[in-house]
């Protein structure tokens, strides 16, 4: 029974991930006073990619072929950590939240390699920039988790997912996580998902050579990753515990509440994307430095107990 | 008798200090070695040690006969100016030698020996060593460096034979061989230096540095 | 195996020495002995292929080794490994110093083994000077210890150190830290490491980076934690600060490097930093009387130590294979090797993933443990120390991010895309013995990742023995495949499960892919924006890859460029050269002024050395006289 619930939770999570992306695009468009695309556009895109043929560069090696699956695997593995309506504990003692950082690193590592594999200058550029940004993201992310661990007494997933009071520290930590998420999900001040301009693109430059089914898998993986990161922020800033009795009503309520939180975060991201200008690559270092400082503030607050 | 021999060693050492020419230096060294030989022989008889007598004979053979002979041959062969090239003139050198003897007397006192012939022996031996070193420092020609080393060796030997009744036999023999070989080598060196630079003036060999 | 027989024979001999036991086989020594053997054996196997003239590129005819030199290499390797084994097993400070010195000297000969290169001589020079400075510090520390114990025996010194005054203890600690830090390559004493390690033949580089610098860690654990005993908390803090600096400096310099072996050497500086984070943290917790955390941190450090030995050994062997097959170590001239040398590429990829701390390989486990040690530690201390530990942990995270970037560069530029020069174009896969050496180590990277629980249990014994703490009541695992530093706190890591899940999910992705595969993928040229002749010249280079980092860290790297234009006329530039370099800060601002000072002093000292033999004799004479006078007054 638990396994069934767990798998259905995973499928729900994966299934909703593209919707989130569509939602953000839709909100952005609406803020810009445009009608905008359907919120289901990411699903259409995925379906289109799956039905299209695939072109593989003749300079590419097996790294290029394998990467989509590694990226997919890393994103899905991260999704396993996230409770939507059930937290199945004993079977899934994979690790704590620290493991999450490393699992994301695995997918990113291969994506960057695949970008170099085709021998295109775009790929190299994207790969270099992505590794640059992600390496600067790590200390901020680590500090955010550190301050949370100070607050909850452990880096455990259940501790994160439980009900806890919102303090200044967790507020600062969630702000850090928010900035980190903007960078990790290639959102505007850092990257821009909407253009393919060689001066600005980072993530898109890396996956430029992918097409068809491989591209679909990579896109799906990045949707899932975005969902995981959003959950993290949501749980820190709008904490809510899993219902003690996992009856259908409580679970349904919890899923609803879960969705509302995610939508709020999505709206915030969309707002930032519309109002803030894209930064030059080397300003990103300052941006993430700011995130780092916020992380330090979070730790200081946690030490002071506020 | 011991005192007489010691006095002879000291006098010959002073003779070396005031020597201005190579033959005089070598001659004085021969006399000094002869006194050392006497001293060793005397100790050998007094303490009834065959070893020491044998060593005394070796001294006679090597230091009195062969080494001075080799040295004077080299001196003859290079046949340059026979002067030693004194940095410090003879009178002043003698004064320095007296001071060194006094210093060694103080030193011997500091070592804490009883005031018998041993004290005198150590004083003499030590002053011979110091004067040998002084000779090496204050004379220009490479000959004096060789002779100075030999004088120092004599001093060390005297020290050993009077203070401790001689070193172990094998050590003694080994030292003799060493000294002998070193004299031969240094003689050759002096010869070579002369051939190469047409002089044996150590003072002028000042470019041999890092 | 020879090593073992010889060791055994020597052991039997030494045991016969009456009265004194010459060897100490406690868990710590055995652990290091294991590390030495586990790296040396594959490296020795590897060297068979490495030295054989077969498989050299036609361009590098002169790199054949004559048979006499190969025999010499085997002899030196043998002595080298033996001396390291003795260093970690001896029970006597004097013997330790002697073996330490033998190890340094033999490794010096191995660094200058390829004396054809001018660089080797220079590297050897820097190495021998630095290592002797280190040994001088060690000697000083040991002499002070000897003054208190009157014996060279470890246990006697350990007992004597209990009564040592605190000031002396601090001095001894600082001397030991400097001495061992020089050998370990702790910043700012690291400058010899990136020169010396790459110059040695590759299997020696792998032993030097994998094992030799670890003997310094052994020294720190043995002499500081085990013998001296930690009771000031600033010792641990000092080591933590140095370790963080080492991590960052090592990885940032590695990013700038495009000589593949030197890049790896800089990573050794970084990884020594990570190891020292564990060790320093352990010292810190020992001084705070937190035994559980101390043992846990030491486990993390030791785990990273053996992991680093494995993957760095592996990476150096792979780099050696690349060098052997192509004749160059310059990454800018390589590329596309994954098609020419598929097996080496896989091994290098595994090593790169391990060093970048990617699950489910071994580097990940130890970095997770180290981070966890920081997190747990922060829960058990109070006040500002929490912040300090948090920032250290963040710097470790930054380091691992930068390391991942660096190895994307190293693997991507060397093995992927198209060959950038004829060196890479003509490469062939290396011989069987070399592959065997690499295979063994890459196998270990996986095993040491998946078997984390067993290893942590074993390491707990080592750490407990080293720190002199009772571990029987400490629990490091929930069950046999889940690792949990504090049971009930919900912090766990199950490597087999994680590996299984990653593989299963990857396979499910592959199945989805296959499900929709109605058409076969078309092989076509890389998209070239309509430019008609894309080729290797369009590829990203290692220098270009690291440019964002060069600019972001310009405050430390101080990059500068040299440009030179050759003009035919005002309008026509015939050629244009552009070079970019980074300033080696430590060399320029610490070592160069120091060297200048030494030379200046030496120059003024030269005045007392005018070349006059009489004067020299006079010095001796005057010294003797002064001594006599001194004696009189005494």
Q: What percent of chain C has pLDDT over 90?
A: 50
Alpha-carbon distances, residue C128 vs A98, A224, C116, C137 (angstroms) = 42, 54, 18, 14
Secondary structure (3-state) at C309 = helix
Residues C190 and C274 in one domain: no
Smallest Cα distance from B40 to chain C, Å: 27
Residue C9, pLDDT score: 59
Residue C18, pLDDT score: 45
C575 occurs within a structural domain: no
CB nearest C338 (choices: A63, A120, A154): A63
ipTM of the complex: 0.95
C460, C482, C517 - which closes a domain: C517
Residue A252, pLDDT score: 80
Whether residue C425 lies within 8 A of chain A, CB to CB, comes out as no
Q: Count Cβ atoms within 10 A of the Cβ of residue B65 and give its class: 0-12 exposed, 13-18 middle, 19 or more buried.
A: middle
Q: What percent of chain A has pLDDT over 70?
A: 95
Chains with at least 3 CB pairs less than 8 angstroms from chain B: C
Residues C131 and C242 in one domain: no
- Does residue B147 surpass a pLDDT of 90? no
Q: Are strands C573-582 and C482-483 parallel, antiparallel or unpaired?
A: unpaired
User: Does B touch A (3+ CB pairs < 8 Å)?
Assistant: no
- Between A110 and C428, name the one with better pLDDT: A110
Of residues C370, C357, C78, C68, the one with CA closest to residue C244: C370
Residue C313, pLDDT score: 95
Residue ranges of C 501-560 with Cβ closer than 8 A to chain A: 501-503, 505-510, 512-513, 516-517, 519, 521-528, 534, 536, 538-541, 544-549, 551-552
C546 occurs within a structural domain: no
Secondary structure (3-state) at C151 = coil
Residues C173 and C255 in one domain: no
At residue A256 the predicted structure's pLDDT band, cuts being 50, 70 and 90, is confident
Chain A residues with CB under 8 Å of C402 CB are: 135
Q: How many domains does one find in chain C? A: 3
At residue C569 the predicted structure's pLDDT band, cuts being 50, 70 and 90, is confident
Q: What percent of chain A has pLDDT over 90?
A: 48
Spatial separation of the C-alpha atoms in residues C333 and C327, rounded to whole Å: 10
Q: Which of A173-187, B46-60, C12-26, C417-431 has the highest mean pLDDT?
A: A173-187
C552 and A139 within 8 Å at the Cβ level: the answer is: no
Residue C80, pLDDT score: 94
Residue C77, pLDDT score: 93
The total of other beta-carbon atoms located within 10 Å of residue B121's CB is 24
Residues C378 and C470 in one domain: yes
Spatial separation of the C-alpha atoms in residues C415 and C345, rounded to whole Å: 7
Spatial separation of the C-alpha atoms in residues A48 and C207, rounded to whole Å: 53
Residues C360 and C413 in one domain: yes
Q: State the DSSP code for C599.
A: H
Please state whether C488 falls in left (phi above 0), alpha (psi between -120 and 50) or beta: left
Q: State the DSSP code for A280.
A: P
- Does residue C127 surpass a pLDDT of 50? yes
C19 occurs within a structural domain: yes
Residue C40 structure tokens: 């040396």
C553 occurs within a structural domain: no
Chains with at least 3 CB pairs less than 8 angstroms from chain A: C
B130 and C625 within 8 Å at the Cβ level: the answer is: yes
CB nearest C621 (choices: B133, B205, B208): B133
At residue B61 the predicted structure's pLDDT band, cuts being 50, 70 and 90, is confident
Q: Considering only B187-196, C25-34, C134-143, which range has the smallest mean pLDDT? A: B187-196
Residue A157, pLDDT score: 74
Residue B112, pLDDT score: 67
Q: Are A291 and A134 in contact (CB under 8 A)?
A: no
At residue B208 the predicted structure's pLDDT band, cuts being 50, 70 and 90, is low
Spatial separation of the C-alpha atoms in residues C298 and C225, rounded to whole Å: 10
Spatial separation of the C-alpha atoms in residues C212 and C205, rounded to whole Å: 10
Smallest Cα distance from A247 to chain C, Å: 25
Residues C340 and C395 in one domain: yes
Backbone phi, psi, residue C576, to 5°: -140, 120
Longest pairwise C-alpha distance within chain C: 105
Residues C190 and C268 in one domain: no
- The number of C-beta contacts closer than 8 angstroms across B and C is 52
B130 and C624 within 8 Å at the Cβ level: the answer is: yes
B209 and C624 within 8 Å at the Cβ level: the answer is: no
Q: Which of A169-183, B9-23, C13-27, C419-433 has the highest mean pLDDT?
A: A169-183
Chain C residues with CB under 8 Å of B205 CB are: 611, 613
Residue A239 structure tokens: 């904490």
CB nearest C614 (choices: B87, B100, B106): B87
Residues C37 and C79 in one domain: yes
Of residues B186, B176, B118, B198, the one with CA closest to residue B146: B186
Spatial separation of the C-alpha atoms in residues C407 and C260, rounded to whole Å: 10
Backbone phi, psi, residue B164, to 5°: -115, 10
Residue ranges of C 569-628 with Cβ closer than 8 A to chain B: 606, 609-614, 617-618, 620-621, 624-625, 628
Of residues B99, B113, B92, B128, the one with CA closest to residue B9: B128
Smallest Cα distance from C485 to chain A, Å: 11
- Does residue A18 surpass a pLDDT of 60? yes
Average pLDDT for chain B = 80
Average pLDDT for chain C = 88
Residue ranges of A 50-79 with Cβ closer than 8 A to chain C: 50-51, 53-63, 68-70, 72-74, 76-77
C239 occurs within a structural domain: yes
Q: What is the mean pLDDT of residues C555-573?
A: 86
Residues in chain B: 210
C87 occurs within a structural domain: yes
Q: What percent of chain C has pLDDT over 70?
A: 94
By C-alpha distance, the chain C residue nearest B141 is C614
Spatial separation of the C-alpha atoms in residues C610 and A175, rounded to whole Å: 72
Kind and range of the H or E element at C559? Answer: strand C559-567
A155 and C390 within 8 Å at the Cβ level: the answer is: no
Please state whether B177 falls in left (phi above 0), alpha (psi between -120 and 50) or beta: alpha
- Does residue A246 surpass a pLDDT of 80? no
CB nearest C417 (choices: A116, A157, A292): A116
Residue C19, pLDDT score: 43
Secondary structure (3-state) at A197 = coil
> What pLDDT, in 10s, does the model give residues C32-74?
999 999 999 999 999 998 888 877 776 555 567 888 888 999 9
> What pLDDT, in 10s, does the model give residues A83-136?
776 665 544 677 888 888 899 999 999 999 999 998 888 889 999 999 999 999
By C-alpha distance, the chain A residue nearest C395 is A139
C60 occurs within a structural domain: no
Sign of torsion over alpha carbons C7, C9, C10, C15: positive
Spatial separation of the C-alpha atoms in residues C169 and C433, rounded to whole Å: 49
- Does residue A167 surpass a pLDDT of 50? yes
CB nearest B137 (choices: C610, C621, C634): C621
Chain C residues with CB under 8 Å of B207 CB are: 611
> What pLDDT, in 10s, does the model give residues C314-358?
999 999 999 989 888 899 999 889 999 999 999 999 999 999 999
C517, C548, C567 - which closes a domain: C517
C628 and B140 within 8 Å at the Cβ level: the answer is: no
- Does residue A222 surpass a pLDDT of 70? yes
Q: Are A270 and A31 in contact (CB under 8 A)?
A: yes
At residue C16 the predicted structure's pLDDT band, cuts being 50, 70 and 90, is low
C566 occurs within a structural domain: no
Residues C235 and C184 in one domain: no
CB nearest C628 (choices: B87, B103, B206): B103
CB nearest A154 (choices: C339, C490, C525): C490
By C-alpha distance, the chain A residue nearest C523 is A56
A303 and C372 within 8 Å at the Cβ level: the answer is: no
Residues C27 and C138 in one domain: yes
Chain A residues with CB under 8 Å of C353 CB are: 106, 109
Q: What percent of chain B has pLDDT over 70?
A: 84
- Does residue C362 surpass a pLDDT of 60? yes
At residue A223 the predicted structure's pLDDT band, cuts being 50, 70 and 90, is very high
Residue ranges of A 81-140 with Cβ closer than 8 A to chain C: 93-96, 98-99, 101-103, 105-106, 108-109, 112-113, 116-125, 127-129, 131-132, 134-140
Residue B160, pLDDT score: 78
Residue B142, pLDDT score: 75
Chain A residues with CB under 8 Å of C339 CB are: 61
Residues C244 and C192 in one domain: no
Q: What is the mean pLDDT of residues C133-153?
A: 90
| HSE-CB of C580 using CA atoms within 13 angstroms | 14
Residues C438 and C383 in one domain: yes
Structural domain span for residue C591: 585-633
Smallest Cα distance from B140 to chain C, Å: 8
Residue A12 structure tokens: 């729900």
> What pLDDT, in 10s, does the model give residues A139-155?
999 999 999 888 888 78
User: Does B touch C (3+ CB pairs < 8 Å)?
Assistant: yes
- The number of C-beta contacts closer than 8 angstroms across A and C is 281
C146, C179, C197 - which closes a domain: C197
Q: Are strands C477-479 and C573-582 parallel, antiparallel or unpaired?
A: unpaired
Q: Considering only C102-111, C447-456, C577-586, which range has the smallest mean pLDDT? A: C577-586
Alpha-carbon distances, residue C81 vs B42, B91, C70, C75 (angstroms) = 61, 66, 16, 10
Residue ranges of A 268-287 with Cβ closer than 8 A to chain C: 281-282, 285
């Amino acid at each position: 029974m638990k396994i069934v619930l767990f798998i259905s939770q995973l499928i729900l999570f994966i299934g909703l991930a593209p919707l989130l992306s569509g939602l953000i695009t839709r909100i952005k468009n609406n803020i810009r006073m445009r009608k905008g695309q359907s919120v289901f556009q990411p699903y259409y895109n995925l379906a289109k990619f799956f039905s299209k043929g695939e072109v593989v560069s003749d300079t590419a090696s097996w790294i290029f072929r394998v990467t989509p699956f590694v990226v997919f695997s890393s994103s899905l593995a991260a999704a396993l950590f996230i409770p939507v309506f059930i937290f199945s504990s004993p079977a899934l003692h994979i690790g704590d939240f620290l493991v999450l950082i490393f699992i994301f690193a695995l997918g990113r590592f291969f994506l960057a390699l695949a970008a170099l594999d085709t021998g295109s200058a775009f790929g190299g550029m994207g790969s270099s920039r992505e590794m640059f940004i992600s390496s600067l993201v790590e200390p901020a992310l680590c500090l955010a988790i550190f301050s949370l661990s100070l607050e909850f007494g452990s880096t455990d997933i259940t501790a994160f997912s439980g009900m806890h009071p919102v303090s200044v520290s967790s507020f600062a930590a969630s702000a850090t996580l928010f900035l980190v998420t903007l960078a990790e999900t290639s959102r505007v001040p850092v990257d821009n998902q909407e253009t393919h301009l060689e001066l600005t693109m980072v993530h898109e430059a890396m996956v430029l050579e992918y097409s068809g089914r491989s591209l679909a898998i990579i896109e799906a993986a990045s949707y899932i990753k975005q969902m995981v990161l959003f959950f993290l922020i949501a749980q820190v800033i709008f904490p809510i515990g899993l219902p003690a009795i996992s009856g259908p009503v409580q679970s349904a309520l919890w899923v609803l509440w879960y969705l509302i939180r995610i939508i709020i975060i999505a709206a915030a991201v969309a707002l930032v994307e519309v109002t803030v200008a894209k930064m030059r690559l080397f300003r990103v270092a300052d941006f993430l430095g700011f995130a780092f400082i916020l992380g330090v503030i979070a730790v200081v607050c946690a030490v002071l107990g506020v | 008798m011991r005192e007489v021999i010691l006095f002879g060693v000291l006098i010959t050492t002073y003779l070396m200090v005031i020597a201005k020419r190579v033959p005089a230096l070598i001659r004085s060294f021969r006399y000094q070695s002869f006194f050392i030989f006497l001293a060793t022989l005397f100790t050998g008889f007094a303490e009834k040690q065959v070893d020491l007598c044998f060593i005394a004979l070796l001294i006679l053979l090597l230091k009195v006969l062969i080494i001075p002979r080799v040295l004077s041959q080299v001196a003859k062969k290079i046949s340059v100016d026979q002067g030693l090239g004194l940095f410090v003139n003879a009178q002043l050198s003698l004064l320095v030698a007296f001071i060194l003897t006094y210093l060694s007397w103080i030193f011997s006192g500091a070592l804490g020996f009883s005031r018998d012939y041993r004290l005198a022996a150590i004083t003499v031996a030590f002053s011979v060593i110091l004067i040998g070193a002084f000779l090496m420092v204050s004379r220009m020609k490479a000959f004096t460096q060789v002779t100075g080393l030999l004088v120092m060796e004599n001093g060390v030997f005297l020290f050993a034979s009077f203070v401790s009744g001689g070193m172990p036999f094998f050590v003694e023999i080994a030292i003799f061989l060493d000294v002998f070989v070193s004299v031969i080598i240094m003689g050759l060196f002096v010869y070579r230096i002369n051939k190469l630079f047409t002089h044996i003036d150590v003072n002028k060999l000042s470019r041999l540095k890092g | 195996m020879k090593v073992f027989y010889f060791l055994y024979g020597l052991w039997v001999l030494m045991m016969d020495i009456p009265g004194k036991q010459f060897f100490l086989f406690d868990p710590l020594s055995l652990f290091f002995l294991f590390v030495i053997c586990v790296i040396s054996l594959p490296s020795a196997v590897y060297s068979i292929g490495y030295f054989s003239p077969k498989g050299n590129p036609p361009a590098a005819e002169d790199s054949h080794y004559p048979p006499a030199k190969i025999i010499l290499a085997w002899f030196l390797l043998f002595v080298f490994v033996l001396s390291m084994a003795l260093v970690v097993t001896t029970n006597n400070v004097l013997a330790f110093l002697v073996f330490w010195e033998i190890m340094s000297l033999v490794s010096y000969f191995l660094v200058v083994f390829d004396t054809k290169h001018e660089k080797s001589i220079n590297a050897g020079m820097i190495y021998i000077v630095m290592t002797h400075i280190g040994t001088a510090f060690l000697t000083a520390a040991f002499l002070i210890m000897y003054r208190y114990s009157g014996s060279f025996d470890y246990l006697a010194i350990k007992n004597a150190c209990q009564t040592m005054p605190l000031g002396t203890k601090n001095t001894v600690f600082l001397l030991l830290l400097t001495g061992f830090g020089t050998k370990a390559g702790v910043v700012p004493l690291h400058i010899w490491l990136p020169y010396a390690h790459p110059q040695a033949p590759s299997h020696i580089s792998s032993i030097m980076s994998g094992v030799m610098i670890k003997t310094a860690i052994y020294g720190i654990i043995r002499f500081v934690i085990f013998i001296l005993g930690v009771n000031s908390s600033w010792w641990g803090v000092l080591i933590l600060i140095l370790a963080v600096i080492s991590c960052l400096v090592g990885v940032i310099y590695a990013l700038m490097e495009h000589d593949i072996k030197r890049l790896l050497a800089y990573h050794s500086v970084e990884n020594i930093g990570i190891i020292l984070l564990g060790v320093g943290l352990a010292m810190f917790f020992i001084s705070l009387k937190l035994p559980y955390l101390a043992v846990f941190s030491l486990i993390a450090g030791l785990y990273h130590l053996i992991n680093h030995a494995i993957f760095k050994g592996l990476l150096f062997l792979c780099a050696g294979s690349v060098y052997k097959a192509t004749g160059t170590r310059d990454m800018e001239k390589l590329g596309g090797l994954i098609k020419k040398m598929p097996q080496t590429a896989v091994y290098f990829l595994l090593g790169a993933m391990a060093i970048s701390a990617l699950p489910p390989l071994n580097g990940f486990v130890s970095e997770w443990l180290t981070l966890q040690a920081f997190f747990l530690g922060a829960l058990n201390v109070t006040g500002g120390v929490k912040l300090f530990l948090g920032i250290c942990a963040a710097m470790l995270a930054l380091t691992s991010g930068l390391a991942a970037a660096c190895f994307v560069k190293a693997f991507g530029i060397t093995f992927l895309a198209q060959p950038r020069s004829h060196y890479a174009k003509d490469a062939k896969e290396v011989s069987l013995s070399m592959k065997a050496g690499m295979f063994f180590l890459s196998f270990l990277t996986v095993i040491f990742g998946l078997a984390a629980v067993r290893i942590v249990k074993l390491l707990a014994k080592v750490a407990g023995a080293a720190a002199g703490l009772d571990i029987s009541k400490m629990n490091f695992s929930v069950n046999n495949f889940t690792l949990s530093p504090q049971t009930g706190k919900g912090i766990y890591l199950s490597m087999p499960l994680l590996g299984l899940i990653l593989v299963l999910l990857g396979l499910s992705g592959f199945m989805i892919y296959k499900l929709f595969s109605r058409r076969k993928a078309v092989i076509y040229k890389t998209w070239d924006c309509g430019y008609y002749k894309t080729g290797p010249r369009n590829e990203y280079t290692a220098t270009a890859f690291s440019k964002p980092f060069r600019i972001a860290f310009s405050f430390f790297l101080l990059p500068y460029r040299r440009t030179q234009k050759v003009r035919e006329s005002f309008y026509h530039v015939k050629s244009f050269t552009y070079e970019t370099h980074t300033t080696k800060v430590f060399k320029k601002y610490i070592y160069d002024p120091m060297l200048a000072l030494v030379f200046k002093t030496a120059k003024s000292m030269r005045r007392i050395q005018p070349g006059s033999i009489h004067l020299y004799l006079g010095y001796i004479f005057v010294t003797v006289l002064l001594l006599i006078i001194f004696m009189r007054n005494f």
